[in-house]
Amino acid sequence: MLGRWTQAVLWLLLAFGALAGRAHAAEPLRLVPGNSQSSLTPFVAYYHDTNGTDDAAAALRRVGEGGFAPLPDGNTAFGFQSGAFWFHARLINQDPAEPRWLLLQEYALSDHIDVYLRYPDGRLWHQAGGDALPFHARSIRYRQPNFMLTLPTGQPVDLLVRVQSQSSMQVPLMLYTPSAFAELSRDAQLAIGIYYGILLALFVYNLVLWLSLRDPSYGWYLLHIGAFGLVLFTLNGFGFEYLWPNSTWLADKSVPLSICLALIGMQQFARTFLELPQRWPRGNWVSLGLIAFFVVFGLAALQLPYRISTPVVTRAVLVGVLWIAIATVVVLRRGYTPARLFLLAWAMFLLGTTVFSLLAFGLFPKNFFTEYGVQIGSALEMLLLSIALGYRYASLRNENERIVSEANVRLERQVAERTQALTSTLAQLEDAHGRLRDSSRRDGLTGLYNRSHFRDAFEQLLRDGQAAARPTTLLMIDLDHFKAINDHYGHLVGDECLRWAARCIGQALRPHEALLARFGGEEFIAALPGYDLDEAVRVAEQLRDALRSAPCESRGRCIALSASFGVHQLLPADDIASSIDAALQAADEALYSAKAGGRDQVRTSAPA
């Protein structure tokens, strides 16, 4: 009899537990005033549709039949799974001031996400998302899938979310008011921006060192930083947002491809830093084999399904990092002291990637440290690697200094003499190069800038004017009746007149900080930064008077010169790409108007 009572009590306890679990799963999420964000995890029940064939009606029937179960230990990460996962929660909006809420799926790589809302009147609302759709299909331009929900006040609404993906099944769902989401996106962008700022600073710093030292280790370290930055750029959803928003194929293939590229950079950098070919030849062959595997698998990932390539390459990350740690230990035991910092750096990276990989396979719950463990570990790893590179370079420098100090005095003197000779030669070459570069920009007759250099400098002048919101005015100058001077006095005298005119124009325009050049023949061109049309006309009139006031003296003759001027003004709002040729054309037309009107005058491109 006692046994039957015991059995009955156990059955009651089991039934009570089942009811409690169902009650917990069916507990609604109440969106109350003052609560601008809520996690759906405590209120979500799920169902694994292994065949991926159920529709919304079938899922709602399962909800009514109690076929959904609470999340296991509140964990929203299920690893790599086939089929589809359905998630259900009941929402009651008790905040009349916030009828619109944003549902955010805080994992960027889900392929297909279908969101359904069943309202109390039976109406069913649906929206699709995920990176299998173009980026513009999202409610808000954001790196993670999001859906704008309209929730009536005080009425229970059933939320269904269907997720089917070849990537890791991670479904952390959050609800935000629009203002709360704006703050979230701002803070998230700042935190990630700091991380990428660290990567960029390390990249630029080591790029300068690589260009200065030409040490291959720095070059492979740059590849490692760039490739791993691309990996995280892809995993965080920024690649789909900024680089290929309309290519779902690239969104699918970018993860395994970028990881393979990063692993190639990691292995090659480790080989050169640890000097494996000399210090551990067998280990070097293993590293080369891994590099060959990552190259082949990266090419194969272009054809393999995502559900195959991504789990394999995710495991390969752990293998690759673990092998580098093993090689570092071996080289360190053989007396290579720079490997100490290298080992510490890879320990940080190994920890971060291990945590991230275990999260991808659903073995760790999703939280701040598991989600951003790879960023934290990689930032520490790259900082330590940068220090290790500096330490390695310092060690090599000290070794070189020791070798040099042991060399004999004669060799040192020869090296110093040859170095001095080489430095002198390089300085002479650099000086000659500078003179040649400046000569290529100058007109051989007048010494002014030539037409080609003027165009390049004028474009930069326009950009500076746009930045300072100031106009720029163009002067086209043509010496009057110059052909008659050549015909009457000869070309040598004509050349002297051109040189005299260039000096006169240059002296007159120097106080105005003008850009002056010989445009061709007897034509000159000048740009006046910050001058409007009226001011430029006054400058042109002064220049016209200066040319007429004193004749050119050549071979005992006094030759009077005059010039015609065309003036055109460019505004800061003008488009630079299309306005340069148009400005030259307008100034040239104004010049021809001055010549047609009798010469020795100033005309503008503005209508009279």
The better pLDDT of the pair 299, 219 is held by: 299
User: Which helix (H) or strand (E) segment is 231 a member of?
Assistant: helix 216-235
| Amino acid 526: pLDDT | 92
- 47-52: long-range contacts, CB 8 A cutoff, minimum separation 24: 47/85, 47/86, 47/88, 48/78, 48/81, 48/83, 48/84, 48/85, 48/86, 49/83, 49/84, 49/85, 49/86, 49/162, 50/82, 50/83, 51/83, 52/82, 52/83, 52/84, 52/164
Length of the chain: 608
pLDDT tens-digit series, residues 274-288: 889 898 999 899 999
Rounded Cα distance, 125 and 224, in Å: 46
Other C-beta atoms within 10 Å of 465: how many?
Answer: 21
Rounded Cα distance, 225 and 206, in Å: 10
Largest CA distance in the chain: 143
| Amino acid 371: pLDDT | 52
Segment 392-399 mean pLDDT: 60
Task: Work out the pLDDT band at 406, boundaries 50, 70, 90.
Answer: low
Q: Which residues pair with 161 in a beta bridge?
A: 87, 115
Segment 90-113 mean pLDDT: 88
| Amino acid 407: pLDDT | 65
Rounded Cα distance, 576 and 459, in Å: 7
Rounded Cα distance, 351 and 348, in Å: 5
Please say if the pLDDT value at position 378 is more than 80: no
Residues in contact with 95: Cβ distance below 8 Å, sequence separation at least 6, in sequence order? 31, 32, 33, 34, 35, 153
| Amino acid 5: pLDDT | 41
CB 353 within 8 A of CB 321: yes
Q: Which one of 131-135, 424-428, 577-581 scores highest in mean pLDDT?
A: 131-135
- Tokens coding 399: 């070794």
Please say if the pLDDT value at position 264 is more than 80: yes
Other C-beta atoms within 10 Å of 406: how many?
Answer: 7
Task: Work out the pLDDT band at 367, boundaries 50, 70, 90.
Answer: low
Which residues in 21-152 belong to E strands, given as ranges?
29-31, 37-39, 45-49, 69-70, 77-79, 84-93, 100-105, 112-118, 124-129, 146-150
Rounded Cα distance, 173 and 39, in Å: 6
Q: Which residues pair with 164 in a beta bridge?
A: 112
Residue with tokens 């269904």: 160
Residue 577 vs residues 207, 457, 518, 532, 533: alpha-carbon distances, Å: 32, 14, 22, 21, 21
Segment 231-246 mean pLDDT: 78
Task: Work out the pLDDT band at 382, boundaries 50, 70, 90.
Answer: low
Please say if the pLDDT value at position 195 is more than 70: yes
| Amino acid 162: pLDDT | 92
pLDDT tens-digit series, residues 438-457: 667 788 788 888 888 888 88
- Please name each of the domains of the chain with its CATH number: 22-176 (2.60.40.2380), 186-405 (1.20.1070), 451-604 (3.30.70.270)
The better pLDDT of the pair 222, 26 is held by: 222
Nearest to 255 by CA among 307, 292, 203: 307
Residue 275 vs residues 139, 371, 402, 542: alpha-carbon distances, Å: 52, 34, 20, 72
Question: End-to-end CA distance of the chain, in Å?
Answer: 118
| Amino acid 14: pLDDT | 37
- Tokens coding 353: 């990637």
- Tokens coding 161: 């979310």
Give the Cα-Cα-Cα angle 414, 417, 419 (nearest 5 degrees).
105
Nearest to 188 by CA among 254, 241, 148: 241
Q: What angle, rounded to 10 degrees, do the helices at 451-468 and 576-596 form? A: 110
